A = this chain, B = another copy of it.
Amino acid sequence: MRKRYALIAAVLLSSAAWSQDAADLSAVHKIKHEGLENSQVEEIAFHLTDASGPRLTNSPGYQRAAEWAVGQLTEWGLKNAQLEKWGEFGKGWQTEKYYAAMTEPYYFPLIGAPKAWTSGTNGPISGEVVLMNATTEEDLAQYKGKLAGKIVLVKSTAETAPTFEPDGTRLTEEELLEKGKQPIGHSSRYTPEFIAQYRARRALQQKIGAFLQEENAALIIRGTRGKHGTFFTSNGASYQGDAEPALAEIEMAPEHADLMARLLEHDQPVKLEADVQTRFFDQDLGAYNVVAEIPGTDKNLKSELVMLGGHLDSWHAGTGATDNAAGCIVMMEAVRILQQSGLRPRRTIRIALWSGEEQGIYGSRNYVKNHFADQATMQLKPDHSKLSAYYNIDNGTGRIRGIYLQGNDAVRPIFEAWFAPFKDMIDHPTVTIQNTGGTDHLGFDAVGLPGFQFIQDPIEYGTRTHHTNMDVYERLVKEDLQQMAVIVASMVYHTAQRDEKLPREPLPQPEKSMFE
């Protein structure tokens, strides 16, 4: 009999430990209903991608999206919706014309885009193309004095062979089990090796860039990673307010750049015509995040915060649908769901859509510095004690399959309890102790605030969408966005309702950001 009592006691204890953070099933029901029956993800997606266009930080496209978001959040009933300046960024920039075609040995139009923050061609140009082969600084010597006024082509190193693996994938049960078992460690692409390689590549590119600038080339064309008309793109010059204008530079589909490269390697002259117009915006070098709130309703807790967000800025050759309109769609839809489902959160819920992420996670890191703490000094501001958690989405359109604990063991049972009512919407929900990096939760994490990102299905993120010209509306998966919005809304709501803030890790030591 004692044994039986012990068993009952154990069940009660475990049940008590569980129930401390049990999900509020009535709230979950309302959230699911609003998110699945009245979904607005398609409309939000349209406005952030198609209607806004590319959303490079400080560009008119970013401004359109940010202003639409402020208006829409206000219309839904959120409070204090505004563009909040986070600091000085630099110049905005956009493409105002892109045209390039091979004209000899025959006419062939060329898929590409100017690299961000590069200059235009100052009207149509045409001329012979010169092939440049430089993998080290020493390779540059042979071109000295030969490139003035020339169109210089750098061959691609892209892998363009046929693909026998799918572009799109979802995480398998095995992969999730493995992720759940792995010890803490960055699963981020920003490994020390990545950063070292990145810096070495950047150093060489800066030397090549300086050389071409000195030689006064007319236009640089680079074959870039990608295939089948998809190409990856990023920035080609400084956005600093006082930066000197950089040369005109096109990133081009590797098939098209290498067509010309092969012709030149066969000593067949290649002529090209191009007309690239780009425009800088330097009236306001300051940069802005979008913020808005659902005020808390508990008089003791409403001064405390739960935050959710994702970066609104994108690269410039697509409309940044998966990187990261997706995250913004989900977060906007999540607050819409909470606002419209009639739930009354105890803590204040604040959404933030960041800018400057693509250039160094600037918007969120500066927001953290302005509101919570300076990572370099670890001087804390009063609100540092008020934030329960920050939730981020920035891994594309794929549905949530779990969450990264960022080493914070104490939140595991809490998140497990909050995932429990979503067995119908998440296959194999996985809570892993691992860190994930590369985006806007890092600034929170770096000052000891619980900042989390979700495990998401990759879909076509690495193969087709992340930083490509083809990261457009079509790449979004409606059902996955809906699932994410519902789950995030629930996580945020439960964080807002919990008696205590989420457990924190010990405060970290002051540290300079690795991006500086």
Contacts and interface: CB of A to CB of B under 8 A. Distances in A.
A97 B105 contact: no
A227 B472 CA distance: 11
Interface string A223-258: 000011111000000000000000000000111001
A164 interface: yes
Contacts of A470: 227-229, 255
Contacts of A160: 474
A383 interface: no
A392 interface: no
A107 interface: yes
Given A53-B105, A164-B168, A229-B470, 5 more contacts: A50-B263, A51-B266, A161-B474, A162-B477, A229-B229
A469 B111 CA distance: 11
Given A107-B96, A230-B229, A474 B254 contact: yes
Interface in A29-73: 46, 50-54, 60-61, 64
Interface string A121-148: 0000000000000000000000000000
B474 A227 contact: yes
Interface in A88-109: 94-99, 101, 105-109
Interface of A: 46, 50-54, 60-61, 64, 94-99, 101, 105-109, 111, 113, 160-170, 227-231, 253-255, 258-259, 262-263, 266, 268, 319, 397, 459-460, 464, 469-470, 472-475, 477
Contacts of A469: 229
A231 to B, nearest CB: 8
Nearest to A108: B53
A3 B51 CA distance: 86
A231 B109 CA distance: 14
Contacts of A169: 164
19 contacts: A50-B262, A94-B107, A95-B109, A97-B109, A98-B109, A99-B101, A160-B474, A161-B474, A161-B477, A163-B167, A164-B169, A164-B170, A165-B166, A167-B167, A227-B470, A228-B229, A229-B231, A255-B473, A259-B473
Specify which of A52, A61, A164 lies most central, judged by the most chain B CB atoms within 10 Å of its CB: A164
A262 B53 contact: no
A11 to B, nearest CB: 43
Contacts of A52: 106
Contacts of A105: 51, 53
Contacts of A109: 95, 97-99, 113
A32 to B, nearest CB: 24
A255 to B, nearest CB: 5
Contacts of A266: 46, 50-51
A268 to B, nearest CB: 6
A106 B163 contact: no
A101 B107 contact: no
A165 B52 CA distance: 32
Contacts of A170: 164
Specify which of A95, A98, A109, A459 lies most central, judged by the most chain B CB atoms within 10 Å of its CB: A109
Contacts of A231: 229
Contacts of A113: 109
Contacts of A162: 167-168, 397, 459-460, 475, 477
A253 B229 contact: yes
A407 to B, nearest CB: 32
A351 to B, nearest CB: 24
A64 B263 CA distance: 15
Contact of A168 (B163, B258, B459, B477): B163
Contacts of A164: 166, 168-170
Contacts of A165: 166
Nearest to A273: B97
Nearest to A474: B160
Contacts of A227: 470, 474
A356 to B, nearest CB: 20
A95 B106 CA distance: 10
Nearest to A268: B51
Contacts of A258: 473-474
B474 A51 contact: no
Contact of A263 (B51, B97, B477): B51
Contacts of A229: 111, 228-231, 253, 469-470
A262 B473 contact: yes
Specify which of A109, A167, A229 lies most central, judged by the most chain B CB atoms within 10 Å of its CB: A229
Contacts of A167: 162-163, 166-167, 228
A67 to B, nearest CB: 13
Nearest to A253: B229
Contact of A99 (B46, B60, B99): B99
A95 B98 CA distance: 18
